[in-house]
């Protein structure tokens, strides 16, 4: 009887852990990683010069992909600042070793606004490299297709948007090889991500725990600690260890009883 109870508890804990993992995949605002998948390269957008370009025509080497909207009062400018900063510090050369594409997910943004926004950030990198950072705007259908293809989930909140802060590394063939979270990035981390992308090697992200532990708060426009989620995980893990302890103890007592 005791063994049945222990096994039942073990099943319940395992079920709760599985349920939690399943729920975590239903992300409304955040990132659902799609490592190893290839983005739809036939999608077309407008660059900052108002030319129509396909993703296939501008992704020819490892590429840093980011999503913003140009009137963002919160994370977008720090994100673009972080990209410009790490590009200025890395040993690799923008335009030679990798390119950058920034796509607005706000259909109200225009190529003119993209051009103005670009000027705010390319000034921080070498002049000869600035042409390798492309700003794109587009129609809703294509925006939805590319954001869903990379697992970038955002949500309108009045005049603004709640969204994650992440850059996505693509191979020259458009394969998703790495996600880097936050608004600041280490030069070595970017270098390794670009080298992996050149080889087409998809690698899991060590910073993914950041996305699990923190959630974006549209009210304060900052990331907040998911205390309830972390405590729930801790209780479930503690419960799992306790059930395993009971199960092992039950087996030991059962073995002694048969001797």
Domain of 103, CATH number, reads 3.40.30.10
Which range, 26-35, 158-167, 212-221, 232-241, has the best average confidence (pLDDT)?
158-167
pLDDT reported for residue 92:
94
Residues 52, 176, single domain; the answer is: yes
Q: Are 80 and 181 in contact (CB under 8 A)?
A: no
Residues 144, 239, single domain; the answer is: no
pLDDT reported for residue 18:
45
Q: How confident is the model at residue 75 (pLDDT cuts 50, 70, 90)?
A: very high
Residues 43, 61, single domain; the answer is: yes
pTM of this structure: 0.71
Range of the domain at 241: 2-25+226-258
Least confident range of 12-21, 80-89, 175-184, 195-204: 12-21
pLDDT at 13 over 90: no
**Tens digit of each residue's pLDDT (9 = 90 or more) over 19-71:** 443 334 567 899 999 999 999 999 999 999 999 999 999 999 999 999 999 99
Least confident range of 13-17, 79-83, 136-140, 250-254: 13-17
pLDDT reported for residue 165:
94
Three-state SS at 36: coil
Strand partners, 98: 94
Look at residue 122 and tell me if it is in a domain.
yes
Three-state SS at 74: coil
Look at residue 178 and tell me if it is in a domain.
yes
Q: What distance in Å separates the CA atoms of residue 147 and residue 149, rounded to the nearest whole number? A: 5
Residues 42, 110, single domain; the answer is: yes
pLDDT reported for residue 245:
74
Domain count, the chain: 2
Q: Are 86 and 47 in contact (CB under 8 A)?
A: no
């Amino acid at each position: 009887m005791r063994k049945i109870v222990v096994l039942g508890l073990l099943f319940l804990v395992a079920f709760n852990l599985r349920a939690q993992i399943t729920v975590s995949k239903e992300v409304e605002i955040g990132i659902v990683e799609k490592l190893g998948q290839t983005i739809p390269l036939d999608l077309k957008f407008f660059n900052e010069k108002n030319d129509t370009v396909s993703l296939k025509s501008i992704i020819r080497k490892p590429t840093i992909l980011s999503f913003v909207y140009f009137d963002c009062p919160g994370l977008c400018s720090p994100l673009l600042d972080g990209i410009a900063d790490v590009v200025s510090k890395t040993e690799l050369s923008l335009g030679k070793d990798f390119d950058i594409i920034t796509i607005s997910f706000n259909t109200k943004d225009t190529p003119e606004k993209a051009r103005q926004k670009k000027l705010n950030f390319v000034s921080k990198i070498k002049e000869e490299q600035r042409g390798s950072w492309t700003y794109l705007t587009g129609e809703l259908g294509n925006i939805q297709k590319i954001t869903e293809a990379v697992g970038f989930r955002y949500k309108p909140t009045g005049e603004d948007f709640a969204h994650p802060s992440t850059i996505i590394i693509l191979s020259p063939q458009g394969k998703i090889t790495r996600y880097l979270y936050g608004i600041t990035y280490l030069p070595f981390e970017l270098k390794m991500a670009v080298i992996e992308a050149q080889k087409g090697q998809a690698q899991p992200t060590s910073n993914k725990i950041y996305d699990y532990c923190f959630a974006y708060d549209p009210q304060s426009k900052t990331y907040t600690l998911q205390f309830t989620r972390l405590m729930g995980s801790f209780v479930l893990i503690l419960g799992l260890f306790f059930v395993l302890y009971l199960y092992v103890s039950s087996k030991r007592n059962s073995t002694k009883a048969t001797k």
